[in-house]
Structure 1
Amino acid sequence: MDVDGTARASAFRVLWERLKEHPLARIGPGLITGVADDDPSGIATYSQAGAQFGLNMLWTMPLAFPLMAAVQSMCANLGRVTGKGLAANIKSAFPPVVLQVVVLLLLVANTLNIAADVAAMGEVAELVSGINRHLMTAFFVFATLLLQMFVPYHRYVFFLKWLTVSLLAYAAVLFTVHVPWGQVALRTVWPRFTPDATAAAVVVGVFGTTISPYLFFWQASEEVEDMQAQRGGAPLVRDPRAARTELRRIRWDTWSGMLYSDITAWFIILATAVTLHVAGVTDISTAAQAASALRPLAGNFAYLLFALGILGVGLIGVPVLAGSGAYALSEAMGWKEGLERKVSDARGFYGIIAVSVLAGLGIQYSPVSPMKALFWSAVINGIVAVPLLVVIIILVSKKSVMGTFTASRPLIVRGWIAAAVMGAAAVAMFMPS
């Protein structure tokens, strides 16, 4: 190797070591879970809310934040305290039919959601690069699949954490357009809209994509992964010495990750409200469509920021969707599971990931449109979210499950409020106008 090559290699090693020591690299699963919440399908939902109702859907995010943070905190605590994922805990505490129905619906919803996400990523990549969307979709699918299967979790998750920076693109968009901040502040706390079935459909869509079942399973299982990666790591019910430190870390990690996610969703609603809604563009079907519509209204820079954000969060969202289903089914079946394991040691686990992602790709070439896939994914998530929330609340309230680390009363109350809000919104969506 020549002198220049040696210098470059040395500089790369120094940069790598600095990145590994960066505070971002030490953040737990909460950050990735939060960013995965704003996947391309979520971006499409938030964009539709902003385009259709303008500033009058901003209020959903301040309401959603304490609820989503409470639910994810319960899931994280469940995983760290028991040393088992959500599906494994349901298996040991409820009749088999409960777990079977939940896991089946989760797998179907996740596969449909993956289909919608990778389709959006392919469309955006085509807009930016000019390369055929189907080729780009296939590229993203196989890239995420190979990374999950052949890169150890502790290395793969490192890159996922740095991809979370892509969400800042949506805040940057607001610097390229005029924003009436006085009206924004007012409408965030005092919206004006008619509470009919159309508004209810958007509200349930926003809450459904914000408080999603796949995130429950992922958060609990990733706490187990992180525990197992620690030297001498053990469930808190067996070794409570680390409880104070670990539960405080989980609280900070989860609430900060959900805040990052929530503020980003608020930015997306705001960005589309002050551009698309103002221009009379009120019907957005996909995240890629939202990016395209921004171009003539807010300029190339805003369009490019929005598009790159979609690609960044898609590269996080797809692995989380596939991984959450794999954890759930593997725990239900008693298979070896975990992204830290080699493929040869957890064939069933990685097989589920492969089937989910490839089925999502296959939908691109079937008569089923990605938007129909997204619609049915939202419907299934709406069906399973409310009873699953009830199950989670029961689990974290049981001393037989959590020992002395049962959830606090404020956390339980927020969990019940989340279940009630989502249940009421779902019922309202099907009421006649």
Structure 2
Amino acid sequence: MTIHVSNDTARSAVIDEVHVGHIRGAFGTILHHDTGPRRGWRRRLQTLLAILGPGLIVMVGDNDAGAFGTYTQAGQNYGVSLLWTLIFLIPVLYVNQEMVLRLGAVTGVGHARLIFERFGKFWGAFSVIDLFILNALTIVTEFIGVALGLGYLGLPKELGVVLAAVAVMGAAATGDFRRFERFALALVAGSLVLVPIFFMVHPPYGEIAHGLFVPQFPAGGKLSDVMLLVIAIVGTTIAPWQLFFQQSYVIDKRITPRFMRYERVDLWLGIVLVVIGASAMMAFAAAAFAGRPEFGNFTDAAGVAAGLEAHAGKIAGVLFAIGLIDASLIGAAAVSLSTAYAIGDVFSIRHSLHRKVKDAKGFYAVYCALIVIAAGLVLTPNAPLGLLTNAVQTLAGVLLPSATVFLLLLCNDKQVVGPWANSRGLNLFTGAVIVVLVLLSVILTVSVLFPDQTNETVIFAILAGGSALALIAALASGVLKRPPAATEDPKVWNREMWRMPALSQLGPAQMSRASKIWMIVLRGYLVLAGGLVLVRIVTLALAS
């Protein structure tokens, strides 16, 4: 199926020239110079099918090996009492990723490069180094998931991990964007194996509905442990790599502001799938272990597969193991790509799935090196895999707020996004989200550094004190005041055709007083919390 489109690229700031041209999606093509309107449901459906991909892949890729462990742990240890957290995360997921796709379509420049150009070398280097380290550790957890799934199925883990690594590298290294997207969307479809498991287990639907729509904490559960699991759910559902991946993937797919509505539909479809998958895992883990000695004693994803087999039969366990392997593969591909895109964008090297390996050696070298190292670590005897997994969760929790702060600032930079800047309501909502993420991050950091002293009193003190400080900072900075009326003539903007000018044409970033306060607080927090957590991790590694 082929349809036509045209974009004004004269003012585009794209770094790699292959990021401009025909949109060749998994299910259709939109030619670069077609300016025809999308009239009629068939025409619009064809356009949507061609655009589908970025939102689905980034969302389903987030239900990776770590998510399998986190969601099933919540179900096995606390039943369906934490399902409501997924409903609360839906607007956060949409707002974060919608801002990202807007940045990608409007600027044509990746997330890391925008941070580097608009906030200076310190934050640019921080964003890339932080992403590289965290993503490398995350990819290790993906291959741990592959190994656990293969182990349950009785297949050789060594050979299976090697074949999985080869498949993930081969899918991206063909030089054909459409071929990779079809591979990724096949894995997205594979994630639906979680749905039949849900019906095989026969969970109590009334309890599930109550858990989804009535916020509650588990009766008898230690509040500090429950809070840490809630933080883990937030961290595995909203991860920094998602921001970098989706922005660059939207650019690589050559999506422009003209197709924003279709890309938002793609994002919503991805959110629906990720919530269905997460809810299914919590629900069937809760039902499989209810009333059994294993309830409240989560071990790992392989233990969940064994519990499903005991409760609902071998097929349920096998499907879960297959789903775990599928999720690990899409997670490994997406997380590796997010890093390779960021490195390519910052250093202005060729970085596109449209290019062959010989035409983008640096891009593919980063992508493949991350996968090879991760697979090698998983296959190394006596490797501290448990410590690596904990390090991923901890560092992701600490670094989570920073990515959202940069995202908010960039989406308010009129030189960058022009008529696509955030509304005041969206800024207030995102600011509140950042406050919550910071507070959860502080709780996680304190619990890791001082596990014996972290109790209900400490948690409530952090939540109350942090909220009060955030309100004072907001009042002092004037962020809650109504902004002056806009002076721009809306007729000047052609939203569908507006693209960010070349980076060299942009003036210095204009930082408001509120933005400067956020940056100072963020920098101080990250230096302190990140340093302390790294010291703690090194100490544990030396002691083991």
Equivalent residue, structure 1, for 2:82 = 57
The one of 236, 254, 260 aligned to 1:247: 260
Equivalent residue, structure 2, for 1:291 = 305
Distance 1:214 1:171 in 2: 26
Distance 1:214 1:75 in 2: 11
Name which of structure 1's ranges 117-126 and 280-289 shifts more when overlaid on structure 2: 280-289
Distance 2:339 2:354 in 1: 16
Equivalent residue, structure 1, for 2:333 = 319
Instruction: Please list, as runs of the form range in 1=range in 2, the aligned pairs for 1:135-284 lying within 5 A after superposition.
Output: 135-190=159-214, 191-193=216-218, 196-227=223-254, 236=257, 242=258, 246-281=259-294, 282-284=296-298
Residues 144-176 of structure 1 deviation map (CA, whole Å, 9 limit, x = unaligned) = 112212251211101211221122221211211
1:121 and 2:146 are equivalent in the alignment: yes
Higher helix share: 1
Equivalent residue, structure 2, for 1:412 = 427
Q: How far apart are 1:195 and its partner, in Å?
A: 6.8
Distance 1:174 1:104 in 2: 40
Distance 1:51 1:42 in 2: 14
Distance 1:68 1:384 in 2: 17
Query: What is the TM-score with the length of structure 1 in the denominator?
Result: 0.87
Aligned residues of 1:24 and 1:161 also touching (Cα < 8 A): no
Distance 1:38 1:199, change over 3 A: same
Distance 2:86 2:170 in 1: 35
Equivalent residue, structure 1, for 2:95 = 70
Distance 1:250 1:416, change over 3 A: farther
Question: What is the identity, as a one-letter code, of the residue corresponding to 1:91?
Answer: F
Distance 1:284 1:158, change over 3 A: same
Aligned residues of 1:109 and 1:381 also touching (Cα < 8 A): yes
1:334 and 2:348 are equivalent in the alignment: yes
1:397 and 2:418 are equivalent in the alignment: no
Aligned residues of 1:77 and 1:250 also touching (Cα < 8 A): no
Equivalent residue, structure 1, for 2:458 = none
Residue correspondences, number: 400
The one of 342, 362, 365 aligned to 1:348: 362
Equivalent residue, structure 2, for 1:107 = 132
Aligned residues of 2:152 and 2:305 also touching (Cα < 8 A): no
Residues 117-142 of structure 1 deviation map (CA, whole Å, 9 limit, x = unaligned) = 112112212322x3221221111012
Distance 2:402 2:341 in 1: 19
Equivalent residue, structure 2, for 1:239 = none
Q: How far apart are 1:50 and its partner, in Å?
A: 1.1
Name which of structure 1's ranges 74-83 and 299-308 shifts more when overlaid on structure 2: 299-308
Distance 2:245 2:176 in 1: 17
Please state whether the residue corresponding to 2:80 is helix, strand or coil: helix
1:424 and 2:449 are equivalent in the alignment: no
Question: What is the identity, as a one-letter code, of the residue corresponding to 1:412?
Answer: N
Percent identical: 26
Aligned residues of 2:52 and 2:263 also touching (Cα < 8 A): no
Residues 319-338 of structure 1 deviation map (CA, whole Å, 9 limit, x = unaligned) = 10100011112212222211
Distance 1:74 1:349 in 2: 25
RMSD: 2.0
Aligned residues of 2:244 and 2:338 also touching (Cα < 8 A): yes
The higher-RCO structure (CA 8 Å, 6+ apart) is 1
Aligned residues of 1:110 and 1:214 also touching (Cα < 8 A): yes
Unaligned runs of 5+ in 2: 1-25, 29-45, 448-453, 456-544
Distance 1:57 1:77 in 2: 32
Equivalent residue, structure 1, for 2:118 = 93
Distance 2:299 2:122 in 1: 35
Question: What is the identity, as a one-letter code, of the residue corresponding to 1:76?
Answer: L
Name which of structure 1's ranges 423-432 and 77-86 shifts more when overlaid on structure 2: 423-432
Distance 2:53 2:393 in 1: 27
Query: What is the TM-score with the length of structure 2 in the denominator?
Result: 0.70
Q: How far apart are 1:415 and its partner, in Å?
A: 2.5
Distance 1:399 1:156, change over 3 A: same
Distance 1:405 1:24 in 2: 24
The one of 61, 64, 67 aligned to 1:39: 64
Unaligned runs of 5+ in 1: 1-18, 228-232, 237-241
Q: How far apart are 1:424 and its partner, in Å?
A: 1.9
The one of 365, 373, 376 aligned to 2:391: 376
Distance 1:414 1:140 in 2: 40
Distance 1:344 1:411 in 2: 43
Q: How far apart are 1:272 and its partner, in Å?
A: 0.7
Distance 1:417 1:209 in 2: 19
Q: How far apart are 1:104 and its partner, in Å?
A: 1.1
Q: How far apart are 1:351 and its partner, in Å?
A: 1.0
